[in-house]
Amino acid sequence: MVIKVITDITEIDEMEFEDCDMHEANPDLGEDRILIEGPLYRLKDTDMIIAEGTYCNCNEDGELEPDFSVSLLYKAEGEPDLDAPLYWEQDPPATMLHNYIHMQGFEEISKIEKLVA
């Protein structure tokens, strides 16, 4: 996967999708999957990585059907294990980060709060 370093969360909206891989992730979803497509975004000066994807339900024929968009957060020095997100939810990246940092202690918040202000 392509990993881009960003200094501000709004940079995600400004980036062009290049030739990026697609990954079919299954973070304990049973037959459902999250399709991650596009670059991964490393938050500058942190080990936090953001990805965007589509939650897909598995229908009765065993085919994946897109349902809703999700944002995923990973913690990794290098390339993350895309099947093991630290946190994910059905929100844009800035909202997802806001919700995540409010569940964490001050130490984690101070590292990334400037990126979502």
Sequence-distant (≥ 6) Cβ neighbours of residue 62 within 8 angstroms:
31
Query: Given this model, what pLDDT does residue 106 score?
Result: 54
The Cα 78–Cα 81 span in angstroms is 9
35 strand-pairing partners: 24, 54
42 strand-pairing partners: 5, 49
**Stretch 39-55: mean pLDDT, rounded?**
86
What are the helix (H) ranges across the chain?
11-14, 93-101, 106-116
For the entire predicted model, the pTM comes to: 0.73
- What digits encode the pLDDT tens for the residues 57-74? 989 998 889 999 999 999
String of DSSP letters for 64-93: EEEEEEEEEEEE-SSS--TTS-SEEESS-H
